[in-house]
Structure 1
């Protein structure tokens, strides 16, 4: 730990690399959010692989490893790959995923061939171009890091300034055209920004892992929010945090590559988001499903006792009539008895007055739902969305009174519905 803090505070190279990967992570997260929502996630992967031949061409042209020139070469072939994918998709019957696979394979294969050619050059063994495949942030010098950092900062600023335009063109391109936005230019600009993001990150993360830097923070952010602005912010923070933590971990030992640790950090954050996010997390979904199953079991037990017309019923018989597991059945029974809806003595269940009212309310709501489905035109004016939002839970006395008043108006207009309703419940009324 002391070595880590010493590197951060005293080592200039560590500070520059940390800053560049931090900005790279933020830029990747911000651009990756739009790429994910535009369903262009794999384009980043294709661009990353397509940048390799451009790097090789630039080195063969210059004869030396000039980082700026290598980035220009990578950007050129990356843009060519991105626009080739769009051209194939728009002018042929080939789908986008097939076009991406085709372009990625061809460009990356060309890059591997050119790497072999570079190795045969007199200065090829000193080129270090292999670092671009898996990334090698430690090989960056101060000038390279400054270029990466400034470019990443510029990408963040441009995306922030054009946030509204990107938002509209992403979700509703037809509406964007209708209000006069240059949708074609915005798509061109976004693809260009995406390519530049990939290109500047190749040296730090590598060709193979750069796609993960674009998509993983965006997917993690998507678990936490439904707002685009919040998603972009969270994605940028996840990307920046991944870049910083991955860089710091790589400084703990010799020969540790920065790129893989950045991606692994982002993956850990993704796993945490996937498990623990409050709305979409797996744990949250499982808990909601268990809660919903318990609620359905509670409704079944109360309605079964109410529809039987008996005040008492044997526990064993009720369990046999249900399709509920023994564990859930016993848990729900305890809950109903704790609420005062049921009493149990010597294996006999007795429904209380409050339990009977609750069961009547359940039946009333369910029957209205069924009538709504059977007679959509007659009950079209009845707004029951608020009932559905309650997930058919028993409603309050005020809500039931409001619903009964609406149903009375409908019965006056369509008397046969009242007959249907009465026949379904054996002529009994509901006590409110």
Structure 2
């Protein structure tokens, strides 16, 4: 019974039973989806901090709109008036950044820092002046700094829904053009696509999301809705279209959970909880992302290192066998060929034994290594790639034959199949059964195995 009572408020919030909760949660969720969509393109365009500068530039616009409304005898805290002022401040901030970068020849990060600090400082100063006025109440203006989600009305949620729908429609209609400008603006200009017009469209979408997000999370935290979902989605996919969907889903899901948690704990601010949930989703993506997650990178790196070490020991073994004209090679000769300690060679050979590429026996104390038919085929391919690359470095990169082995040793594992085919065609060894290319440098023979031929 106690469990049901404790779970009931959370379930009521998640299933939107209460009307006020439904308005707040749906409004914040739609804001998160819109931020995820727009944030994907500003992240790929490498302009993620523009949203932060725009959000801080809205504060003086809000206070100036308040002053104008009071001077004209209107309600100074009218939401349409304040949002109109925020819009003006945001657009003026973008214009100032463009002026500083194009005319002032400043770098983008310098322009962002100047606009952010100057506009926000001006807004704080104006807010202090407004608080000293005895003729008008400024209560509620501070909520635009940190947000006040609980005061969201149905008209606010409808406005957010309209902005989210407009952002989705714009991303759908201009998807190809925005993607091209994000990844190759020079090529886009060559195709007749105007980069500055698309940048203007993108900045307009940023301003729209920032304006409707002021009441929900405030101008300080609204940048998180634009940047965090897109950054988290980047760890899951390399496809722009999928990234858009994942980013919108993460933004909407994080906003839903954060607003729900805030509704069950009224003393906790909704904006901060939304950002914390989004940060948690980003942390999970950073760790377990399918494409760029740390766990995946660790697994891929370990597999690559194991493959490279296996190829090194296969090549060392085959070259030893070539020099002594026998079918088994001493473990110490493999270690000497690779410049390894004996334990390193033993560990590498053990990988060959586990994968069935080699066998090992001890006829006279020191282990002898023999490649299986499968191991011999794989070793021949490794040696082929290595020697083809050596010939290429000598003929085209003018490597000295005495130092080419180290250069080929580092790059041979990265050769794509088409490059291997070109090198084989040039050297006249295009079939798998063709003799291996001769080594362009002297290979020191290892000591014989004392006649042991298993």
Shorter chain as normaliser: what TM range?
A: 0.7 to 0.9
1:136 to 137, 142, 148: 148
**Residue 365 in 1 paired to residue 365 in 2?**
no
Matches within 5 A, 1:63-212: 63=70, 64-122=76-134, 127-212=139-224
Shift in CA distance, 156/392, structure 1 to aligned 2, threshold 3 Å: closer
State the partner residue of 1:58.
65
State the partner residue of 1:219.
231
Return the alpha-carbon distance in structure 2 between the equivalents of residues 261 and 215 of structure 1: 16
State the partner residue of 1:9.
16
Shift in CA distance, 292/52, structure 1 to aligned 2, threshold 3 Å: same
Return the alpha-carbon distance in structure 2 between the equivalents of residues 147 and 373 of structure 1: 64
Return the alpha-carbon distance in structure 1 between the equivalents of residues 369 and 291 of structure 2: 38
Unaligned runs of 5+ in 1: 379-387, 412-417
Which segment is superposed worse, 177-186 or 110-119? 177-186
Which segment is superposed worse, 257-266 or 145-154? 145-154
State the partner residue of 2:359.
342
State the partner residue of 2:329.
312
Return the alpha-carbon distance in structure 2 between the equivalents of residues 103 and 324 of structure 1: 60
Shift in CA distance, 344/216, structure 1 to aligned 2, threshold 3 Å: farther
Which segment is superposed worse, 302-311 or 266-275? 302-311
**Residue 333 in 1 paired to residue 370 in 2?**
no
Return the alpha-carbon distance in structure 2 between the equivalents of residues 152 and 389 of structure 1: 50
Contact persistence 2:358–2:370 (CA under 8 A) = yes
Shift in CA distance, 120/293, structure 1 to aligned 2, threshold 3 Å: same
Return the alpha-carbon distance in structure 2 between the equivalents of residues 116 and 88 of structure 1: 28
Return the alpha-carbon distance in structure 2 between the equivalents of residues 369 and 4 of structure 1: 64
Return the alpha-carbon distance in structure 2 between the equivalents of residues 214 and 97 of structure 1: 18
Match of 1:209, SS state, is helix
Structure 1 residue 92 displacement after superposition: 1.9
Shift in CA distance, 314/257, structure 1 to aligned 2, threshold 3 Å: same
Shift in CA distance, 353/79, structure 1 to aligned 2, threshold 3 Å: same
Shift in CA distance, 154/407, structure 1 to aligned 2, threshold 3 Å: closer
Contact persistence 1:247–1:261 (CA under 8 A) = yes
Matches within 5 A, 1:254-273: 254-273=266-285
Contact persistence 1:297–1:324 (CA under 8 A) = no
Contact persistence 1:366–1:392 (CA under 8 A) = no
Shift in CA distance, 37/377, structure 1 to aligned 2, threshold 3 Å: same
Shift in CA distance, 316/372, structure 1 to aligned 2, threshold 3 Å: closer
Structure 1 residue 152 displacement after superposition: 2.5
Count residues in correspondence. Answer: 407
Which segment is superposed worse, 166-175 or 4-13? 166-175
Which segment is superposed worse, 276-285 or 309-318? 309-318
Shift in CA distance, 363/80, structure 1 to aligned 2, threshold 3 Å: same
Structure 1 residue 58 displacement after superposition: 1.6
Structure 1 residue 403 displacement after superposition: 8.2
State the partner residue of 2:47.
40
Unaligned runs of 5+ in 2: 1-6, 71-75, 399-410, 446-454
Shift in CA distance, 293/171, structure 1 to aligned 2, threshold 3 Å: closer
State the partner residue of 1:383.
none
**CA RMSD in angstroms, aligned pairs only:** 3.3
Return the alpha-carbon distance in structure 2 between the equivalents of residues 290 and 116 of structure 1: 58
Structure 1 residue 60 displacement after superposition: 2.2
State the partner residue of 2:261.
249
Contact persistence 1:38–1:170 (CA under 8 A) = yes
Contact persistence 1:213–1:239 (CA under 8 A) = yes
Structure 1 residue 70 displacement after superposition: 1.1
Structure 1 residue 9 displacement after superposition: 3.5
Return the alpha-carbon distance in structure 1 between the equivalents of residues 346 and 148 of structure 2: 59
Contact persistence 1:28–1:236 (CA under 8 A) = yes
